[in-house]
Amino acid sequence: MLEKSVITRTIETARGVFAPGHLGELTQIVDFALVDAVLEETRALQRRVRLLPARVVVYFVLALALFEDCSYRAVWGKLTAGLVGLPLVSPHASSLSRARRRLGAEPLRVLFETLAGAVAARSAPGVWWCGMRTVAFDGTGLQLPDRAPVTGRFPKRSGAVREFGYPLMRLVTLVETGTRAIIAAAFGPESDGELPYAIRLLDRLEANMLVLADAGFDAIGFLRGIHATGAQFLVRSSATRRPLVQDRLPDGSYLTRLSAPYRTGHGYGLLTVRVIEAWITVKLADGTVRREQWRLITSLTDPALHPARRLVTLYHERWQAETCYASVKATLLDGRVLRSGHPADLDQEVWGILTVYQALIHTAADAATHRPGLDMDRLSFTVALNAARDQVTTASGILPSGTAQLVGTIGRALLDNLLPTHRRQRLKARSLKSHSKYAPNTAQHPATAQTYTFHTEIAIMEKGLAPRSHR
C-alpha cells in the first residue's frame, strides 16, 4: 500500500518587494531593524521603493557569501526558493550587479562592525587565562580576480623579471581565541604588510585582554601601542632581535628593556619586557624529531604569577586565528578567488563575508550558552554553515515564532554534531600553495598529518637565536 506524508507550514517574511530580503534563521542575528538602521546611518536607504530595495540588496550580498559557488541568479533563486506563491521579481544578473554598486561598501562595513566583538561569557571555557581574555592578531591573503580595475589597487607579487600569481588582498583581524569571534578587521593591498593594518585595530583592545601574536608583530612601536591600551601581550620574537639579559628570573626567563628609535622630546621610549627562550622538541609518530628555538616577549613580568612553561603552552592558542581564517577561506570561500571585479565591490564583498562569518559565530556562541561548560572548540563551523544554507533555501526561521529562544535549528544541528572532547595533537602536513614560499623546504615536512609529542626546555640562548626558516 502506498503511504505518504503531507507537511504544511507557515512561512513568515517581509511584505511585498522586501520578501526576498532575508538570510533564513540568521536573519534573527542580522535582523530587519538592524539592517534598516545601518542603511539610514550610512545614507544608503532608497528615496523611493523600487523592485530591489536597499535592504534586499544587503541580504543579497550576504547570501553571496553563504553561497560562494553560485552565480548571481542562482543566489537569488536560493533566497526565493521557499517563497513559492508570492509575486516575486526575477531580476537579471546585470540588475543585481548595478544594485550592488549603488549600495556601496559602507553599509556592509558598518553592519560588520556592529556585529563584531568578543562573544564569550565570563564562565566560557578556553577563553580566559589568569583572568584575562586571550585574543590574537594575525593576517592572511585573499586571492582576487586578475582584472585591470583590481590590479590597479591590489598589485600582484613581482619577481626580478615578471609579475606572477593572483592579485592579493591583505586581511588582518583581531580574534577572540576561545571562540574565534572577530573583534575587529582591516584590509587593503597585500604589499603594505600586516603591521600597518594591525595598528589601526589597537583601539579595539581592552585592559582585560592578553594579546598573542607571531614574530611579524614584535615591533617595539606596536608593543608600546598594546601597552598603552592597558592590555598585556605575549608575542614571538624574531631572531634578528638581540636582547640584553638584565635580570635573570627563577623560571629561566629574564627581564630586558626594548628601545624605540630616538625621538626629540621623547627619548628612546624604553619598554621593560620579560623574555622567555626555549628549545622546543617535537617528536612525530613516525619517529622524526624536530628541535627548534623559540623566543617569546611578554609584558607579564612576574614569574610567580605567570610561569614561563605555562606561557609557552598558552602561545599555541594563537593558532585559533589561523583556524578562523581556515573557516573563512576554506569553508565559506571553498578556496575560491573572490568574485567581484571592481575594487569598491571587493570591499563590499569582504565586509559581507566577515559579517556572515560573525553571525555564524554568534549562533554558535548562543548554542554553547545553552549547555554550560561546553567548549566552543567542539562546535563545527561546517555544520553551522550547512544548516544556515538550508534555512535560507527553505525560508525558515526568518522571524522568531512565539517565545524567543537562544537555540534554533542551526544551534540544534551544532549540539547534535559535537566534535570529540579530546582530540589528538596532530601536526598538519604543509600544503603546497601556488607560488609557495615553502618551496625551499620541500621534503622537510611530513607528507601526511601525524600525531606528536611536545617538550619544552627553558634555556637562555647566550649566543642568540638561529634565523628561522620560512616554513
- 86 part of a folded domain: yes
Give the CA dihedral 356, 361, 363, 368, nearest 10 degrees: 170
- 412 part of a folded domain: yes
Please give the tally of structural domains in the chain.
2
User: Do 136 and 61 lie in a common domain?
Assistant: no
- 452 part of a folded domain: no
State which of 379, 413, 439 marks the end of a domain. 379
- 55 part of a folded domain: yes
- Domain containing residue 200: CATH number: 3.30.420.10
User: Do 309 and 392 lie in a common domain?
Assistant: no
Q: Provide the residue type at 408 as one letter.
A: G
User: Do 28 and 124 lie in a common domain?
Assistant: no
User: Do 130 and 224 lie in a common domain?
Assistant: yes
- 262 part of a folded domain: no
Q: Residue 201: helix, strand or coil by DSSP? A: coil
User: Do 195 and 343 lie in a common domain?
Assistant: yes
State which of 360, 379, 398 marks the end of a domain. 379
Note the pLDDT of residue 49.
81
- 247 part of a folded domain: yes
- 179 part of a folded domain: yes
Closest among 298, 293, 314, 304 to 460, alpha carbons compared: 293
Note the pLDDT of residue 376.
94
User: Do 129 and 101 lie in a common domain?
Assistant: no
126 torsion bin: left (phi>0), alpha (psi -120 to 50), beta (else):
left
User: Do 305 and 318 lie in a common domain?
Assistant: yes
For residue 82, give its domain range: 1-115+385-423
DSSP class of 121: -
Note the pLDDT of residue 469.
56
Average pLDDT, consecutive stretches of 10 residues, N- to C-terminus, the chain (471 residues): 79 92 96 97 88 96 97 97 92 96 97 97 91 97 94 83 84 97 97 94 97 94 95 93 92 92 67 94 86 94 96 94 95 96 95 98 94 93 98 94 77 95 58 49 66 84 71 45
Contact of 173 with 329, CB cutoff 8 Å: no
CA distance 118 to 85: 41
User: Do 322 and 175 lie in a common domain?
Assistant: yes
Closest among 154, 456, 137 to 279, alpha carbons compared: 456
User: Do 350 and 396 lie in a common domain?
Assistant: no
User: Do 137 and 162 lie in a common domain?
Assistant: yes
User: Do 68 and 171 lie in a common domain?
Assistant: no
Q: Tell me the helix, strand and coil percentages in the chain, rounded to 5.
A: 35, 20, 45
- 454 part of a folded domain: no
Contact of 111 with 40, CB cutoff 8 Å: no
Which residues, including other chains, have CB under 8 Å from residue 113's CB and lie 6 or more apart?
184
Q: Residue 149 has which C-alpha cell?
A: 580595475
Note the pLDDT of residue 438.
47
Q: What is the pTM (predicted TM-score) of this model? A: 0.92
User: Do 102 and 120 lie in a common domain?
Assistant: no
CA distance 12 to 68: 26
